[in-house]
Structure 1
Amino acid sequence: MKKSTIQYRRIFLDILDKKYPEKKEICRDLLVKENLSVLDIIALNTKIFGSPDAQTLAFNQSHRSYTRSSVLQILDFQKENQLNNSQVARHFKLSRHTVAKWKKKYQV
């Protein structure tokens, strides 16, 4: 059985074409990438729809999941910007305990 993959680029291009053609230019740098990471998808969503209200943010936060590659990207971001666990947790709206657990699991 073939695993289905979500074509985020196609979804975002359709949304931009039909509802927000004026925002297509500011999203172009992300949409030309060969593979969109979880962080790219979050950035595109924010550029197109803006920041969510508190209720939507809380709902979305409880339903997020991260792949190994996206966790490693977040931990690389932490290293590159010399952030502590609390700072990177605030930036990505995570728990600092989650960041610490990831660091321990992936031994970064």
Structure 2
Amino acid sequence: MIPDYKKIYSDLIEEKYPEKMNECIKILKKKNFGVLDVISIHNILSEGSKKDVDIFNQYHRAYDEKTVKIYLQYQVDHKLSNNQLSKHFKITRNSIARWKKQFPEYD
């Protein structure tokens, strides 16, 4: 069972960030609310936050198979190295290397 992130973020925005509702409403209205949507809303809400908080959050991200494949396909489409992809999405190079071993069709 996964948490209802759509409901969690809707409540969070209403209570703590009502001024950012307009930026997030398009994402919250999506029928299929996925991991990439959670990351997008989190980035909107954490704009201007301290770098330490962002680094902490990077270590606690979890990616489902669909999201991993989207990232790896993005790398193939844009002809990026692991290093470039890691900087673009703020993911460790080790994670990308591990994903490529799991999904050799993207290597």
Superposition TM-score tier, normalisation by shorter sequence: 0.7 to 0.9
Structure 1: segments with no counterpart, 5+ residues: none
Counterpart residue number, 1:68: 65
The number of equivalent residue pairs is 105
Q: Distance in 2 between matches of 1:73 and 1:12?
A: 23
Moved more, 17-26 or 85-94: 17-26
Please state if 1:47 is matched with 2:40: no
Alignment RMSD, CA only? 1.8
TM score, norm. by length of structure 1: 0.81
TM score, norm. by length of structure 2: 0.82
Partner of 1:76: helix, strand, or coil?
helix
Q: Distance in 1 between matches of 2:78 and 2:96?
A: 15
From 79, 82, 106, the counterpart of 2:103: 106
Q: CA deviation at 1:19?
A: 2.3
Counterpart residue number, 1:12: 9
Q: CA deviation at 1:36?
A: 2.0
Structure 2: segments with no counterpart, 5+ residues: none
Structure 2 matches for 1:21-100, cutoff 5 A? 21-100=18-97
Distance change >3 Å, CA 44–CA 20, structure 1 → 2:
same
The amino acid that maps onto 1:33 is K
Q: CA deviation at 1:51?
A: 4.6
Runs of 4+ in structure 1 off by over 6 angstroms are none
